[in-house]
């Protein structure tokens, strides 16, 4: 090998990955335009603004720092790379009472407001992209069960009788094996603290023993708020909705 071919080879082995991993993604993503609704396809006009609630910014940062993305994805893959749309409540809801079929692939805008898009590294744990909606569905089911057991209507349940999604997430974060014996989701007891019970005690505290309660520290509060607001339920322009069952407004 001559010195010249060595240097050409050296330059190429840095230039090619740079081109594919830096230059091309930058060129394609730097001028992404905000998607617009279309009069014919969607029956309305205007820009698509993803609706997000909860502690998106710091919740997402904690999610990343705690390594949740190592086991949990937040990505409904494009159909050619593995169909996620058929998995129950993962990429949206098949029969949403208000919006119909909301299942779709992940979009760039699903990660709005977050410094990193936690698409995830492996899928050891379930995809969390639509976790908030799944928990809402679970809460509705649990409330029906509670109401039936008490012999009242769901609307008649008092706030303290209802299934508490925030508390359910706390319980999972504190000890994932509390609801699933075989869980390998790590426990996050450092996000909680034991405090003495004064008066009526804290809201959403975990099981207490005698005069002590386990309560969430700010980290757990932010993370829980973030998790419960991971939803795939905003209406996206027809052009971005790859779900096969989706109809154009003009065809409805």
The binding site for ligand HEC (CB under 6 A) comprises 66-68, 70-72, 124-126, 131, 134, 172, 176, 180, 183-186, 188, 223, 227
For residue 104, the minimal CB distance to ligand HEC (Å) is 19
Nearer Cβ to ligand HEC (76/188)? 188
For residue 66, the minimal CB distance to ligand HEC (Å) is 4
Nearer Cβ to ligand HEC (117/185)? 185
Nearer Cβ to ligand HEC (39/179)? 179
Nearer Cβ to ligand HEC (49/184)? 184
For residue 84, the minimal CB distance to ligand HEC (Å) is 14
For residue 38, the minimal CB distance to ligand HEC (Å) is 34
As a whole number of angstroms, the longest Cα–Cα distance in the chain is 87
Mention every residue, 6+ apart, whose C-beta is less than 8 A from residue 79. 85, 105, 242
Q: 226: burial class by Cβ within 10 Å (0-12, 13-18, 19+)?
A: buried
Nearer Cβ to ligand HEC (54/176)? 176
Q: 142: burial class by Cβ within 10 Å (0-12, 13-18, 19+)?
A: middle
For residue 52, the minimal CB distance to ligand HEC (Å) is 18
Nearer Cβ to ligand HEC (57/67)? 67
For residue 67, the minimal CB distance to ligand HEC (Å) is 5
- Tell me the HSE value of 234 on the side-chain side, using a 13 A CA sphere: 21
For residue 50, the minimal CB distance to ligand HEC (Å) is 21
- Tell me the HSE value of 22 on the side-chain side, using a 13 A CA sphere: 6
Of 45, 43, 99, which is closest to residue 248 (Cα–Cα)?
43
Q: What is the CB neighbour count within 10 angstroms for residue 184?
A: 10
Nearer Cβ to ligand HEC (104/172)? 172
Angle (CA) 168 89 102, round 5°: 125
* Cβ atoms 188, 31 nearer than 8 A: no
Residues 5, 164: Cα–Cα separation, whole Å: 67
């Amino acid at each position: 090998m001559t010195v010249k071919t060595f240097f050409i080879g050296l330059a190429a082995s840095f230039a090619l990955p740079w081109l594919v991993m830096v230059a091309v993604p930058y060129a394609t993503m730097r001028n992404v335009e905000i998607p617009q609704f279309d009069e014919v396809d969607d029956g309305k006009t205007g820009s698509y603004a993803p609706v997000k609630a909860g502690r998106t910014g710091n919740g997402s940062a904690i999610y990343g720092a705690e390594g949740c993305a190592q086991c949990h994805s937040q990505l409904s893959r494009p159909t050619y790379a593995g169909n996620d749309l058929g998995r129950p409540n993962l990429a949206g809801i098949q029969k949403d009472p208000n919006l119909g079929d909301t299942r779709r692939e992940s979009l760039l805008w699903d990660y709005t407001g977050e410094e990193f898009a936690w698409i995830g590294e492996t899928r050891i744990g379930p995809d969390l992209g639509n976790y908030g909606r799944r928990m809402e569905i679970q809460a509705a089911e649990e409330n029906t069960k509670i109401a039936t057991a008490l012999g009242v209507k769901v609307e008649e349940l008092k706030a303290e009788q209802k299934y508490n999604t925030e508390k359910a997430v706390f319980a999972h974060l504190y000890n994932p094996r509390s609801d699933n014996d075989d869980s390998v989701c790590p426990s996050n007891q450092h996000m909680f603290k034991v405090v003495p019970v004064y008066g009526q005690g804290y809201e959403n505290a975990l099981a207490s023993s005698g005069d002590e309660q386990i309560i969430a520290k700010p980290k757990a509060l932010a993370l829980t708020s973030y998790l419960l607001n991971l939803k795939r339920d905003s209406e996206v322009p027809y052009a971005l909705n790859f779900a096969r069952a989706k109809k154009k407004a003009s065809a409805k």
